[in-house]
Structure 1
Amino acid sequence: MYQNPRATVLCVDDEIRSLETLERTLDEEFDVLTASSAEQAMALLEEYPVHAVLCDQRMPDETGVEFLARVRERWPQTARLILSGYTDSEDIIRGLNEAGIFQYLTKPWHPDHLLLTLRNACQMIALQSENALLATEMRLTAPQAEAQVQAKKDRLRQRFDFSEILRSRESPLNALCEHVAQVAPYDISVLVTGPSGSGKELFARALHYNSLRADKPFVVENCGAMPDELLASELFGHRKGAFTGAINDHIGLFEQADGGTIFLDEIGEITPAFQVKLLRVLQEREVRRVGDSQRRPINVRVIASTNRRLEEEVRAGRFREDLYYRLAEVTLELPPLNQREEDIPVLARAFLDRAVQAFDKPVDGFSDEAMMCMQAYGWPGNVRELQNEIRRMLVMAREPLLGADLLNPRVLRRCVDGEAAPLLAEVADLSGTLKERVEQLEKQILRETLIRHRWNKSRAAQELGLSRVGLRAKIERYELETH
């Protein structure tokens, strides 16, 4: 991961409202600089160290590709991203070749996707710098550098060992991890299915680093929402002059992964025409770069993933049956997080530990109410949504204990309404005299109401028919004042 938890991102757009929206979205995680013109952006780049530049494609003075090409010449180590409301494939290809962009994002963008993309871009820059430093060390002290490389490989193997995948002792993932561990050493293609955010890439990396190919490359390509021409260039490579904007030869990811593993994410999104091209590569075990007549042999293991039901896509005629069987020699189905309720405390505490380290903001942990609310919520975004929620809670926290009032309203609603309400009822041990039981119920009703109103005492008092003074007295009596 990139070491600076507050990497600097420069946003360039001639529309002031777009800049304001980008800044509001990014400033919780990044130091954000904004510029409304290319020249203003160049001045900021001269003054500040910038990790990533996010630039609009269509600006009055010059296009985003033209501007990022200049950035590439002066600051080649800065990640470059295009943000555009247009999806012209020629612009995308020119951006890849002339400006060396990391990602071409389309408007309207989703905040979580934008944050994840920039996070990955900054991580890539940090890794490139680390690799450059490592290369220098290898030239100076080869034996020492070789030992460092081996140590890094050993850490990767340990990190992606199946025993390190976060889960509880009773987790539904236990049987799946045993199955994957059995499959990993064998050179067989694997299809990983499951909803978005459930950890498909994590399991793909675990398959690779527990295989005989662990010392070779592991490369990733997201096949979703990408034009066929660009996807062919990325996976198979192209020759100089093969199309407009192809100013250099480009080695595709299949060749880059030679001897290792290629992970094709969102494989269910590729078009029928591209399915034919991919099938030919898998059958013949060789690639032909776009614009080239020479065929090059490849030796890769293919792991693919999708959140679609490919069997249904095959029956509907939208996915080739022969390609499906090439990809799915073994199929692994990851359960959504709402089917892994017992894993949520383990995941939440681990994500909190990582966030504490990244933000250098120590806390004591979660309140019981916060943990119960997290277990009650359905997490449609799965593990990724849980991780983002915990990072946000830590940022917003003012007390050492993260309470339920820090959770998003959608999580709180599920916690205190409908089917989830009985979870909080379990807190009270309804025993003792009638008076004691009534007091336990009263304490619980107070807690639930305060949580629902995010500890806004005026609103809670109004709902309960109490004065603020009366509510304060009850809060003090039951020792509920922890916020």
Structure 2
Amino acid sequence: MKNVPALPAVLVVDDEVRSQEALRRTLEEDFSVFTASGADEALTIMEREQAGRGVQVVLCDQRMPGTSGVAFLTEVRQRWPDVVRIVLSGYTEAGDIIAGINEAGIYQYLLKPWQPEQLLLTLKSAANVWRLQQDNQRLSLELRAAEPVLASKVEMKYERVKRELGLDGLTRSAGSPMNPVCDMVQRIAPYDLSVLLMGESGTGKEMLARAIHYQSRRDRQAFVVENCGALPDQLLEAELFGYKRGAFTGAYEDRIGLFQQADGGTIFLDEIGETSPAFQVKLLRVLQEGEFRPLGSPRPVSVNVRVIAATNRDLEAEVREGRFREDLYYRLATVTLHVPPLRERPMDIPLLAQRLLEASQKALGKTVQGFTTETLACIAAYRWPGNVRELQNEILRMLALCEGKQLGAELLSPRVLRAPVGVHEDAELSFLADLSGGLKERMEQLEAKVVKEALIRHRWNKSKAAADLGLSRVGLRNKLVRYGLEKG
């Protein structure tokens, strides 16, 4: 049998027996009811019951011989402060109750003649108040007891986030060109210097900016990101500096800008080279004075923010051409870091691919065992003009299409599978320059590569590969033997 929860207990104190019985009949279906005819009897019941489960609510008549209801409830409050106290009174006694309501801590008072529905609703509400008080006290005690443990867990989680987003989270091998960049980050991150990150799109400049933030003394404050090339001047100014209600059409309420949100922390301004000269003047003021004026505001706002900017343009050339302010450039470029493209980091590609695969599996909720050797070879041979972002998208695509246990080379996009030929002219010329022998020998090497690419794309199905190449199965088999492409 299921345990039936005990009914909440109410003590009714009234010197009139008929009134006691009327109150009992009204309440007994929803409460465990105790009755007393006076204060002394009520105190005896309270002392007895509070040693056990206790009384949750006391309902007391104001007019009783010897003592008033307010005086009795004041004593109840002093001895059992958790008990919820309600008083019944006539119209002529309301003034006395109001005068003593704070001293007695009365939850509510009801006027006679009372209505059964109103009385029952009030008592149920009082019982809920008592229960919530008990829950709150219990939770407060549990939280105080757990506070050291919770603080420790929060700190452990923060340290883990810091490792993942700091320098330790930047994937690189022992001989990577990223290592000198990371060494420089380690040296300059603790100091409030403006940093300009230069490099091609998709090289991970935002990740490097986060690493600088998490290696700095501002690491426990906000890190805020804005792509300056994605918005026109007015919207960019509103995003960064905020605005007051009515500053422009559609400004229906005040909005805090990103600079103010980043106060005490770091703001990362990506694609800074795309901003207009007019906006550059306003940004220069923030860097020089540490203050800005929200749109529509008569007063400036002061902030303490570290600025990290990034661009894929040659800002020095932009300065020479008059498209970027020289004074702003030097304000941003206190320290300049060049982020190498992925084609200059071939030794990092297998590590990056594995890291990105782990993230992709979490994103798609799909798991595989990893890459085949052929896949890794093709990935390493490709130049990745879109850099890490392109590699990430390629892995997401492969994972979505995969029906086996591993990501095979046949899942690669044609441009990656056929690398390096046809991707970039310089890559193609470099590949051709590496071929040895006369024209016949070089043509045979090219033919071997084309045959192998067709086999990989058709998952080594020789019939499909032969049809794709316009060969018979016998002709294809001869070429496989000739070029050593037969799988053992």
- TM-score, length of structure 1 as denominator length: 0.62
- Who is 2:320 aligned against? 315
**Counterpart among 231, 236, 242 of residue 241 in structure 2:** 236
Whole-angstrom distance in 2 between the partners of 1:288 and 1:168: 46
User: Does the alignment pair 1:180 with 2:191?
Assistant: no
For residue 375 of structure 2, what is the amino acid of its counterpart? Answer: A
Q: Which residue of 2 aligns with 1:189?
A: 194
Map of 1:156 onto structure 2: 161
- CA 1:269–1:464 in structure 2 vs 1: closer, same or farther (change >3 Å)? closer
In structure 1, what residue type is equivalent to 2:455? L
- 1: distance between equivalents of 2:418 and 2:468? 16
Considering only CA atoms, is the larger Rg found in Structure 1 or Structure 2? 2
- Determine the structure 1 residue equivalent to 2:331: 326
User: By how many angstroms is 1:414 displaced?
Assistant: 1.9
Q: In structure 2, which of residues 280, 283, 287 is the aligned counterpart of residue 275 of structure 1?
A: 280
Distance 2:305 2:370 in 1: 44
Matched residues in 2 for 1:457 and 1:469: separation? 10
Which whole-Å CA distance do the structure 1 matches of 2:464 and 2:479 have between them? 15
Alignment of structure 1 residues 22-33 onto 2, 5 Å: none
Alignment of 1:28-43 (within 5 A): none
Matches of 2:270 and 2:449 in 1, distance apart? 46
Distance 1:138 1:266 in 2: 49
Cα offset for 1:358?
3.6
Distance in 2 (CA, whole Å) between partners of 1:239 and 1:227 is 19
Q: Decide whether aligned partners of structure 1 residues 193 and 220 sit closer, same or farther in structure 2, where only a CA change above 3 A counts.
A: same
Contact 1:261–1:300, Cα closer than 8 Å, also in 2: yes
Q: Which amino acid aligns with 1:158?
A: R
Matches within 5 A, 1:38-187: 141=143, 143=147, 146-187=151-192
Quick one: structure 1 residues 244 and 445, their matched pair in 2 at CA, closer, same or farther if it must change by over 3 Å? closer
Distance verdict in 2 for CA 1:252–1:371, change over 3 Å: same
- 352-361 or 312-321: which moved more? 352-361
Match of 1:480 in 2: 487
Amino acid at match of 1:310: L
- Where does residue 209 of structure 2 map in the other structure? 204
- Give the corresponding residue for 2:88: none
Encode CA deviations 1:186-239: one digit per residue, 9 max, x unaligned: 111000111111000001000000100001111111111312111111111111
Shift in Å, 1:392: 1.0
Match of 2:260 in 1: 255
Q: Determine if contact 1:369/1:424 at 8 Å carries over to the other structure.
A: no
2:315 aligned partner, one-letter code: L
1:323–1:206 distance in 2 versus 1, CA, 3 Å: same
1:383 counterpart residue number? 388
CA shift digits 1:395-428 (9 cap, x unpaired)? 21222232221110111222466468689999xx
Q: 2:360 aligns with which of 346, 355, 361?
A: 355
In the alignment, the residues of structure 2 paired with residue 238 and residue 268 of structure 1 have an alpha-carbon distance, to the nearest angstrom, of: 24
Deviation at 1:168, TM superposition (A): 1.2
Q: Is the 8 A contact 1:425 1:444 kept in 2?
A: no
Looking at structure 2, the residues matched to 230 and 140 of structure 1 have their Cα atoms a distance apart, in angstroms, of 48
Q: 1:416 to 1:456 in 2, by over 3 A?
A: farther
**Hey, what does 2:455 align to over in structure 1?**
450
Contact 1:416 1:448 in 2 (8 A): no
Aligned to 1:402: 407
Secondary structure of 2:419 counterpart:
helix
Q: 2:202, 2:450 → 1: CA distance?
A: 35
Tell me how far 1:366 sits from its aligned partner: 1.9
Q: Is the 8 A contact 2:417 2:453 kept in 1?
A: no
Query: How far apart, in 2, do the equivalents of 1:339 and 1:373 lie?
Result: 16
Distance 1:140 1:474 in 2: 76
Between the aligned partners of 2:340 and 2:193, the Cα distance in structure 1 is: 22
TM-fit CA distance, 1:154: 1.4
TM-score (norm 2): 0.61
Match of 2:441 in 1: none
Q: In 1, distance between residues paired with 2:458 and 2:385?
A: 23
Give 1:342 deviation, angstroms. 1.0
Asked if the contact 1:424/1:448 (under 8 Å) is kept, the reply is no
Q: Distance in 1 between matches of 2:167 and 2:464?
A: 48
SS in 2 for 1:216: coil
| In structure 2, C-alpha distance between the alignment counterparts of 1:354 and 1:447, rounded to whole Å | 31
Alignment-derived partner of residue 72 in structure 1? none
CA distance in 1, matches of 2:403, 2:477: 21
Whole-angstrom distance in 1 between the partners of 2:165 and 2:332: 22
Give, as a single letter, the amino acid of the residue that structure 1 aligns with 2:177. P
DSSP 3-state at the match of 1:231: helix
User: Judging changes above 3 Å, is the alpha-carbon distance between structure 1 residues 138 and 173 closer, same or farther for their aligned structure 2 residues?
Assistant: farther
- How far the C-alpha of 1:145 sits from its partner, in A, is 5.2
Contact 1:413 1:452 in 2 (8 A): no
Structure 1 counterpart of 2:201, which letter? S
The answer on whether the counterparts of 2:452 and 2:485 sit within 8 Å (CA) in structure 1 is no
1:351 CA displacement: 1.3
Q: Give 1:290's match in structure 2, choosing from 286, 295, 304.
A: 295
Kindly state the Cα deviation for residue 252 of structure 1 after the two structures are TM-superposed: 0.8
SS of 1:414's equivalent?
coil
Cα 1:443–1:331, aligned 2, differ >3 Å: closer, same or farther? Answer: closer
Count residues in correspondence: 332
Q: CA RMSD in A?
A: 3.3
CA distance in 2, matches of 1:176, 1:464: 46
Q: Is the 8 A contact 2:309 2:332 kept in 1?
A: yes
C-alpha displacement of 1:479:
6.0
Amino acid at match of 2:404: E
Contact 1:302/1:327 (CA < 8 Å) preserved in 2? yes
Deviation of the 1:480 alpha carbon: 3.3
Distance 2:256 2:218 in 1: 20
1:262 match: secondary structure:
strand
Q: Is the 8 A contact 2:267 2:307 kept in 1?
A: yes
User: Structure 1 residue 340 and structure 2 residue 345: aligned?
Assistant: yes
Does 2:418 correspond to 1:413? Answer: yes
